[in-house]
Amino acid sequence: MGLTLSEFLPYRLNCLSEAISQEIRPIYRDHFGLNRPEWRVLVALADLGTATAKDVGAHSAQHKTRISRAVHALEKRRWLTREPDPNDRRSEMLTLTAAGHRAYCDLVGPMRDREARILDRLSPEDREALGDALGALEAALGLSSPKPPVR
């Protein structure tokens, strides 16, 4: 029994993730000057509100070094602020500034439009099946946060 990459689920999911990332990259890179970790931190903070870098990493599935660099870059743009965590001196609370919220709001529409264009390549039945399969796989792997259905 061998292993064929083209039939190996983790490989296939990674290839799909990269292909989709390539399709959305021009939006956050060319229009907003962000890299992948930066846009993920921006969106994670918009989702979470005030949060620690550790919380942002867990929410956005990123390593702490990527989070740290992204936080620094977003802070230089004045899109987020850092305050000491009153419960843990080793941590900081991150919050989007008004400018960060505006950037996030400017990013949402184009990102949703691109997502819709990607999903429009599927039939309604395939979109529903994809949503069901992703939900079932997430549940089987114990991912806790409920995900909205694929539109």
* Type of residue at 128: E
Query: pTM of this prediction?
Result: 0.86
What is the pLDDT, as a whole number, of residue 140? 94
What is the pLDDT, as a whole number, of residue 144? 62
What is the pLDDT, as a whole number, of residue 89? 82
Q: Which CATH class is domain 5-120?
A: mainly alpha
Residue with tokens 């989702």: 47
Find, among 127, 134, 106, the residue nearest to 42 by Cα. 106
Find, among 142, 148, 141, the residue nearest to 9 by Cα. 141
What is the pLDDT, as a whole number, of residue 84? 92
What is the pLDDT, as a whole number, of residue 103? 97
What is the pLDDT, as a whole number, of residue 57? 92
Question: In the chain, what are the domain boundaries?
Answer: 5-120
- What is the distance, to the nearest Å, from the Cα of residue 5 to the centroid of all Cα atoms in its chain? 25
What is the pLDDT, as a whole number, of residue 86? 87
Q: What is the 3-state secondary structure (H, E, C) of the chain?
A: CCCCHHHCHHHHHHHHHHHHHHHHHHHHHHCCCCCHHHHHHHHHHHHHCCEEHHHHHHHHCCCHHHHHHHHHHHHHCCCEEEEEECCEEEEEEEEECHHHHHHHHHHHHHHHHHHHHHHCCCCHHHHHHHHHHHHHHHHHCCCCCCCCCCC
What is the pLDDT, as a whole number, of residue 53? 93
pLDDT (tens, 9 = 90+) of the chain, 151 residues, equals 789 999 999 999 999 999 999 999 999 999 999 999 999 999 999 999 999 999 999 999 899 999 999 999 999 999 999 999 888 888 899 999 999 999 999 999 999 999 999 999 999 999 999 999 999 999 999 886 545 545 4
What is the pLDDT, as a whole number, of residue 145? 53
What is the pLDDT, as a whole number, of residue 150? 53
What is the pLDDT, as a whole number, of residue 23? 95
